[in-house]
């Protein structure tokens, strides 16, 4: 019964768990009280219509507003906006509206933008402009003429795409540029920032059973049973269990950090993503815990760290330590230095069946 429930009941059933991830940082606002969190829920709902998803839950603290969406999550801080959406959503289509909303808060200059995603399992079911990375880049280039695009990993197998630009590389949108690009380069990275993503596939069938309505009635039950609440225990969790299966959670803590996990448990296309900006000087323990919680057959890790972050100097150590773990075979590893961020990309597949 349970096997059938997470197997495909109809051969045509498919859900693209792989998310499109947009993160935008604005330069300090020209308005004294400028804050993206002043934007009303109604405005966000209108913006999300362009993406084709809805808000299903909301939690906030003094630092961050966390929206759980029908297809993943949105996090809003004073000058940073993150949108992560899966399925056949169209997040790039809300960009122009986002920039208009940001302008109402005095945010007219972008300091960093990151658009990234893993290769889709079924790119042919996506909607424009997400039918391929080239189409996405062409669309982004019409808005940000100075962006740069990259592909990490193996272009003919598994890969991860990134479109980015950072000041001082890039200016703001031509029509939104204000004349006050007065910050010195030394101040650009005043806020430490790091983001880790772990994108997992071929997940353990028994672990995935927890993320279905036939097993648990609610998100909190699945969170506790699976051990998700132990990954970063200081996070206040907002979780949701979809019917008949599927799970999403956001966590926020008093340091203004977030975590988010999204689970597509169907056996034929199982996928779990973990993302957090928690500040750690070594991510090995966190990666091990996430991997032990979900038991994937393969996964990708990406870590972005700017020059002020704890993680910046230790990314290389992480790589050395983690590649020595005997359970995993590293199939790819690349490091990139961008103007204000370092990026580590690594891909692993399970070498042995042993989960100890």
Ligand X SMILES: C[S@@+](CC[C@H](N)C(=O)[O-])C[C@H]1O[C@@H](n2cnc3c(N)ncnc32)[C@H](O)[C@@H]1O
The answer to whether 159 is a known catalytic residue is no
Q: Is 242 among the residues that bind ligand X (CB under 6 A)? A: yes
Residue 54 annotated as part of some ligand binding site = no
Phi, then psi, of 211 in degrees rounded to 5 = -105, 45
**Has 248 been annotated as catalytic?**
yes
The answer to whether residue 223 forms part of the interface with ligand X (CB under 6 A) is no
- Indicate which residue of 86, 94, 159, 245 is catalytic: 86
59 versus 171: smaller Cβ distance to ligand X: 59
Is 212 one of the binding residues for ligand X (CB under 6 A)? no
In the block, which residue shows the tokens 């996506």?
A: 126
Stretch that binds ligand X, among 13-21, 142-150, 201-209, 318-326 (CB under 6 A): 13-21
Give the contact letters, 144-173, x = binds to ligand X (CB under 6 A), - = no: ------------------------------
Give least dist CB 70 to ligand X, A.
5
Q: Residue 36 class from Cβ within 10 Å (0-12 exposed, 13-18 middle, 19+ buried)? A: buried
> 248, 273, 276, 309: which one is catalytic?
248
> Which is closer to ligand X, CB of 21 or CB of 99?
21
**Backbone torsions φ then ψ of 150, nearest 5 degrees:** -140, 155
Sheet holding 20-26, edge to edge: 55-60, 65-69, 72-76, 80-85, 20-26, 110-118, 159-166, 148-153
Which has the closest alpha carbon to 298: 346, 265, 343? 346
Q: Is 263 in the site for ligand X (CB under 6 A)?
A: yes
Q: What angle do CA 323, 328, 342 make, to 5 degrees?
A: 40
Q: Is 54 helix (H, G, I), strand (E, B) or coil?
A: coil
Residue 261 or 315 with smaller CB distance to ligand X: 261
- Give 49 or 178: the residue with its C-beta nearer to ligand X: 49
Residues whose CB is less than 8 angstroms from the CB of residue 259 and which lie 6 or more positions away in sequence, other chains included? 231, 232, 235, 249, 250, 251, 274, 275, 276, 278
Residue among 29, 53, 70, 72 flagged as catalytic: 72
Within 75-114, the residues that bind ligand X by CB under 6 A are: 86-87
Question: For 217, left (φ over 0), alpha (ψ -120 to 50), or beta?
Answer: alpha
- Give the residue at shortest CB distance from ligand X: 246
Segment lying near ligand X (by CB under 6 A), choices 126-134, 135-143, 157-165, 269-277: 269-277
Binding segment for ligand X (CB under 6 A), chosen from 135-143, 222-230, 244-252, 297-305, is 244-252
**Is 133 part of any known ligand binding site?**
no
Smallest gap from Cβ 6 to ligand X, in A, equals 9
**Residue 71 marked ligand-binding:** yes
Question: Does residue 246 bind ligand X (CB under 6 A)?
Answer: yes
Q: How many CB atoms sit inside 10 A of residue 164's CB?
A: 24
> What is the rounded distance in angstroms from the CA atom of residue 202 to the CA atom of residue 272?
9
Q: Phi/psi at 143 (nearest 5 deg)?
A: -100, -40
Distance of CA 192 to the CA centre of its chain: 18
d(CA 289, CA 120): 26
Please state the closest distance from residue 274 (CB atom) to ligand X, in A: 9
Q: Does 271 bind ligand X (CB under 6 A)?
A: yes
- Contact letters (x/-) for ligand X, 42-71, by CB under 6 A? ----------------------------xx
Q: Which of 96, 77, 90, 82 is nearest to 144 (CA)?
A: 96
For ligand X, give the closer residue by CB, 77 or 264.
Answer: 264
What DSSP assignment string belongs to 257-276? -EEEEEEE--GGG-EEEEEE
266 is known to lie in a ligand binding site: yes
The residues that are catalytic are 72, 86, 248, 262
Binding residues for substrate are: 15, 71, 242, 266
Which residues lie near ligand X (CB under 6 A)? 15, 17, 19, 70-72, 86-87, 242, 245-248, 262-266, 271-273
Binding residues are: 15, 71, 242, 266
């Amino acid at each position: 019964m349970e096997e059938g429930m997470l197997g495909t009941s109809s051969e045509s059933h498919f859900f693209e768990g792989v998310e499109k991830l947009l993160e935008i940082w604005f330069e300090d606002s020209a308005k004294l009280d400028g804050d993206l969190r002043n934007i009303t829920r109604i405005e966000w709902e209108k913006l999300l219509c362009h993406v084709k998803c809805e808000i299903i839950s909301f939690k906030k603290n003094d630092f961050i507003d966390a929206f759980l969406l029908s297809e993943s999550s949105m996090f809003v801080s004073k000058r940073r906006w993150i949108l992560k959406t899966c399925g056949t959503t169209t997040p790039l289509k809300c960009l122009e509206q986002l920039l208009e909303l940001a302008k109402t808060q005095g945010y007219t200059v972008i300091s960093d933008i990151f658009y990234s995603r893993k290769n889709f399992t079924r790119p042919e079911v996506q909607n424009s402009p997400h039918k391929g990375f080239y189409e996405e880049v062409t669309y982004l280039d019409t808005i940000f003429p100075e962006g740069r695009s990259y592909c990490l990993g193996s272009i003919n197998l598994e890969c991860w795409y990134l479109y980015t630009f950072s000041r001082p590389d890039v200016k703001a949108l031509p029509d939104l540029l204000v004349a006050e690009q007065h910050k010195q380069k030394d101040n650009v990275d005043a806020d430490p920032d790091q983001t880790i993503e772990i994108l997992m596939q071929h997940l353990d069938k028994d672990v995935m059973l927890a993320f279905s309505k036939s097993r648990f009635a609610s998100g909190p039950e699945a969170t506790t049973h699976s051990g998700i609440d132990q990954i970063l225990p200081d996070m206040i969790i907002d979780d949701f269990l979809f019917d008949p299966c599927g799970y999403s959670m956001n966590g926020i803590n008093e340091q203004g950090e977030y975590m988010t996990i999204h689970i597509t448990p169907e056996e034929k296309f199982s996928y779990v993503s973990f993302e957090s900006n928690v500040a750690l000087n070594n991510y090995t323990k966190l990666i091990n815990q996430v991997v032990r919680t979900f038991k994937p057959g393969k996964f990708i890790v990406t870590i972005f760290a700017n020059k002020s972050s704890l993680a910046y100097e230790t990314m290389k150590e992480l790589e050395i330590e983690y590649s020595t773990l005997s359970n995993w075979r590293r199939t790819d590893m690349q490091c990139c230095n961008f103007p204000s961020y370092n990026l580590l990309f690594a891909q692993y597949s399970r070498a042995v069946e042993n989960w100890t």
